[in-house]
Amino acid sequence: MTDLAHLKDQYDLAVVGAGPAGLAAATLGARFGLTTVLFDEQATPGGQIYRAVTETPLRERALLGEDYWQGAKLADGFIKGSAQYVPGATVWSISHDREIGVSAGGKARLLTARHVILATGALERPFPITGWTLPGVMTCGAAQILLKSSGLGPDGKVVLAGTGPLLWLLAAQYRRAGVRIEAMLETTPRRNWLAALPYLPKFLQSRYAAKGRALLREVKASTRIERGVGAVAARGDGRLREVAYRVGRGREIRLEADALLLHQGVVPNINLASAIGCKHHWDETQLCFTPEIDEWGRSSIPGVSIAGDGGGIAGAEAATESGRLAALDAAWQLGKIDDFARDRHAGPYREALAAALYGRRFLDLLYRPAVRFRHPAGDTLVCRCEEVTAEQVLDAVKGGAVGPNQLKAFLRCGMGPCQGRLCGLTVTELIAKARKVAPDEIGYYRLRPPVKPITVAELASIPQSDAARKAVVRG
């Protein structure tokens, strides 16, 4: 059990998240002599993309693929370094002065850092279809996590649905592991090709092309793929029984199914950055809110940097380099290195970052999810936690809720424990469409700490100073 009591009251650098960006940042920060601490919710390093890389039961390298095993090097470098590692810990608050609230083992405490790097990564875009809350329906990411960390594959009839590289990667991994897939329902809108085509030449020259081609070939050879799927629904009585879909506007086709795995891209996990007060803007290509950061990852809050997918979706290799750049900048800001050393070290990282970004725009545009899968209607659930439907959201807008925060006064939409992670983007887009206003103008839920629920007991366990006790004013 992680014990927070042994942590220092102050660190030079605190990193949140042990994915590629966080691992790279913490390792480098410590190498430059910064007292560094890395907090992560999981029990072992790797984040989501390199989940369980130090302990996966799937040892045969070809199954998960070489890209995954890159994570082992990063994790190894980190563990051998001098950063303090705090697994099983949830950071639920960071103030403007970089006071960090963290919980582990049922206890909470506060500590400060002179610089913070948020590497909270990405989460899957909501995929609000009929029946998406049925047991048996989960994200492709979830299925992949079960595969990596427990060597588990779905039993019975498996259907994949959505758009994006992860769909293909999972299908390939399942094929290698002997998991049969009934069908892959590919929802990429055909018109995306038009927008993506101008960027195809660059993509073909990039590292992603060969990998992508190989993956597509492997999956197409063994899996039934339905393209141009325009509607997907999950049906069942208390659990998934069948998946219904249409190709374009064709007739409804039903498949018996035990597992439906959904994916339509990933978006930055912005709850912590948002709760701190970092400025965000709407990215119309990636259809999500992204933090405003500069080329060092500095956010709009001094002393708080953002690295990795949490600062904008760009993949694991880009995340690694952006983590290093943020750590470099932190070391410079804290006076450990001068301008010259900083820029000298930055050179190779920037080159590697540029190479990692090269060719990605094609994928961003090709796999941009269709409107019909982002704008649910009727009694499709928008807010899973509080069971609020699309129709209820739209009625509330008609009733005067002009944005996501006013919505909270009419409905409990967004007020459950997930803090909008699974409904926020849908809500913003639905309100934007209803009011004929850009999503950037509509904004997002006003997020505050704690960014994850903490118990009354945990909160009460925060050590007090005498000054704080005396400062209580009666209301």
Partner 1 sequence: MAPDVIIIGGGLHGCSAALHLARRGATVLVLEKDYVGRHASGVNAGGVRRLGRDLAEIPLSVASMELWHRIGDLVDDDCGFEGHGHLKIAESEAELETLKARVAAVRALGFTHEALVDRRQLRELLPAVADHCTGGIWCEGDGAAQPYRTTLAFRRAAERAGAVVSEGVHVTGLRRENARWQVATADGGAHLAAAVVNCAGAWADRLAAALGEPVPLIPSAFMLMISDRRAPFIKPVVGATSRPLSFKQFANGTVMIGGGYKGALDRETNWTELDFRGLAQSAQTVADLFPVMRSAQIVRAWAGIEARMPDDIPVIGPSSTEAGVFHAFGFSGHGFQLGPISGAIIAELVTTGRTNLPIEPFRITRF
Partner 2 sequence: MFRRLVEPERASVRLMVDGRPVTAAPGDSVAAALLAASVVACRTTPVSGTPRAPYCMMGICFDCLVTVDGVGNRQGCLTRVREGMVVATQQGKREVGR
Between 334 and 383, whose beta carbon lies closer to partner 2? 383
The item of partner 1, partner 2, none sharing an interface with residue 27, based on CB under 5 to 8 Å by kind, is none
Q: How far is Cα 319 from Cα 306, in angstroms, rounded to an integer?
A: 10
Q: Which residues bind partner 2 (CB under 8 A)?
A: 41-43, 48, 52, 55-59, 88, 106, 123-124, 133, 135-139, 141-143, 145-147, 149-156, 177-179, 238-239, 258-259, 269, 384-387, 416-418, 421-422, 452-453
Count of CB atoms situated within 10 Å of the CB of 305: 30
The alpha carbon of 260 is separated from its chain's Cα centroid by a whole number of angstroms, namely 20
CB of 272 to partner 1, least distance (A): 14
415 binds, among partner 2, partner 1, none (CB under 5 to 8 A by kind): partner 1
Tell the smallest beta-carbon distance from residue 202 to partner 2 (Å): 31
Exposure string for 194-229, b = 16+ CB within 10 A, e = fewer: eebeebbeebeebebeebbeebeebbeeebebbebb
Partner whose footprint covers residue 151, from partner 2, partner 1, none (CB < 5 to 8 Å by kind):
partner 2
Of partner 2, partner 1, none, which one sits near residue 393, judging by CB under 5 to 8 A according to partner kind? none
Q: How far is the CB of 109 from partner 1 (least distance, A)?
A: 10
Q: Which does 150 bind (CB under 5 to 8 A by kind): partner 1, partner 2, none?
A: partner 2
**Interface positions with partner 1 (CB under 8 A):** 93, 95-96, 99, 101, 108, 110, 277, 400, 402, 406, 409-410, 412, 415-417, 419, 448-450, 453-457, 459-462, 464-465, 468-469, 471-475
Token pair for residue 437? 């206003």
We find the least distance from the C-beta atom of residue 405 to partner 2, in angstroms, to be 21
- Of 98 and 157, which CB lies nearer to partner 2 in the complex structure? 157
3-state per-residue secondary structure call for 83-120: CEEECCCEEEEECCCCEEEEEECCEEEEEEEEEEEECC
> Of 264, 276, 265, 271, which is closest to residue 444 (Cα–Cα)?
271
CB of 266 to partner 2, least distance (A): 11
Q: Which phi and psi angles does 243 have, rounded to 5°?
A: -115, 130
Asked whether the beta carbons of 93 and 275 are under 8 A apart, the reply is: yes
Residues 391-416, buried b or exposed e (16+ Cβ, 10 A)? Answer: ebbbebbeeebebbeebbebbebbbb
Token pair, residue 448, equals 């505050």
β-strands 388-389, 36-39 pairing: unpaired
Instruction: Please choose which of partner 1, partner 2, none residue 400 contacts, taking the beta carbon within 5 to 8 angstroms, the exact cut-off set by kind.
Output: partner 1
Identify which of residues 133 and 406 has a Cβ nearer to partner 1 in the complex: 406
Choose from partner 2, partner 1, none: what does 123 bind? Cβ within 5-8 Å by kind: partner 2
